[in-house]
Amino acid sequence: MAKATFDHTPMRDSYDVVIIGGAIMGSSTAWFLTDNPDFDGSVLVVERDPTYEMCSTAHTNSCMRQQFSTELNVRISQFAADFVTNIREYMGGDDRIPDLPIRSFGYLYLADTETFADTLRANQKIQHAAGAQTQLLTPDEILAAYPFYNVDDILLGSINTVNEGYWDGAAVFDWWKRQARERGVEYIANEVVEMARSARGIESVTLKTGEVITCGHVVNATGPRAARTAAMAGITVPVEPRKRYSWVFRAETPLDRDLPLTIDPSGVHCRENGGGTYQAGGHAEIDPAADYDDFGMDHGLWETHIWPVLATRIPAFEAVKIQAEWTGHYAMNTLDHNAILGPHPDVPNFIFLNGFSGHGLQQSPAMGRGTAEWLTYGEYRSLDLSPFAYDRIVRNDPIRETAII
């Protein structure tokens, strides 16, 4: 991921929008603000670590899918696919921006119970109604397309190979950040440590270096740290860091075709990485909240859980060699694993952009665009994202999304 050099001190003492967190959600919002001809305000992005080394954006699988169980989540990913595949056009025809095709090897969900198979059937109907091209596969059909699987325990599969698979999220992030700065968005390497709140809302933020910045709106784009940021405003939000482990390995006998991002019934997932290498991910059975700075690796998890599952599902993975491993954090919305978006009902200029629970990268185009629309117009105009409002947290009214990885 490209590194940036930011100043520590803001150029002004007042901004129309202060975005706390400059990773992919904050940078998407910043860029879409600059791209909106009706927005003419000033924007400050405060990023605590401009190397982005430990942020969720840097640890992602960088894949997108349309296989969700709610129409809104499907349409959010459809916009992501359109944006990525037409990125140069979206970004003003800038000749510096490369073509970024989606490597559409698809996601393959595998069901080993009738209950999960029924879920896949119900989800396909929703996906088809939204225009996705999801296919249901019997075990024999899975083997015909992908003969390397062991499907002895599988009842049904679900796959979509149109605009579903790997995309270069790091490149999109880099260009959002780069072009936003060229258009006048100010990024600083600093940290918000305090907020001053009045009856109107958030009046100012205080930086770690002591500067007090007055603001029109504050956007919480701090990923797994969302609850800490909200607490400065006297607000609670049910988002916490959850450890997610990743491994890149080389197979002694590579598969003879692309491996879809395979979601085993156990929850272990694995995808094509290229050149005879593959990327796998998963988490421990006990999955507590992690400390914000805890990126320690569970070195035993591979041997005791991940590799046995992979070698059973894909016998060719019996002989593999680990090439890299790391720990990242999901920004887990513990209510319903879906985004929390828009203003707080009692602090109207505090804007949530939180809780993406592992599918934030693929949702960043729509979420950044929607947040920029709300900041400009006080409403969503391209795609109605209001179901993600904070009000449902207060009501304890979760969005039911069954396609969670």
Given a cut of 80, whether residue 178 has pLDDT beyond it is: yes
pLDDT at 14: 98
pLDDT at 4: 61
pLDDT tier, 405 (very low <50, low <70, confident <90, very high otherwise): confident
Tokens 């920004």, residue located: 331
End-to-end alpha carbon distance in the chain? 24
Q: Which amino acid is located at 401 in the chain?
A: E
Given a cut of 80, whether residue 25 has pLDDT beyond it is: yes
Q: Nearest-5° angle of CA 42, CA 338, CA 24? A: 40
Given a cut of 90, whether residue 207 has pLDDT beyond it is: yes
pTM reported for the whole predicted model: 0.96
Q: What phi and psi, each to the nearest 5 degrees, are found at residue 35?
A: -90, -5
Given a cut of 70, whether residue 1 has pLDDT beyond it is: no
The CA distance from 341 to 353, in Å, is 5
- Residues 77-86 have a mean pLDDT of 98
Whole-number mean pLDDT of the chain? 96
- CA-closest candidate to residue 66, choices 57, 55, 58, 74: 74
pLDDT tier, 5 (very low <50, low <70, confident <90, very high otherwise): confident
The CA distance from 257 to 402, in Å, is 29
pLDDT at 61: 83
pLDDT tier, 59 (very low <50, low <70, confident <90, very high otherwise): confident
Given a cut of 50, whether residue 266 has pLDDT beyond it is: yes
Can you read off the two tokens belonging to residue 171?
A: 């490149």
pLDDT at 2: 44
Given a cut of 90, whether residue 60 has pLDDT beyond it is: no
pLDDT at 106: 98
Q: Which amino acid is located at 334 in the chain?
A: T
The CA distance from 73 to 77, in Å, is 6
% of the chain residues with pLDDT over 90: 96
**344 within 8 A of 352, measured Cβ to Cβ:** yes
pLDDT at 404: 82
**Helix or strand holding residue 117 (H, E):** helix 114-129
pLDDT digits 0-9 by tens, 279-291: 999 999 999 999 9
pLDDT digits 0-9 by tens, 116-132: 999 999 999 999 999 99
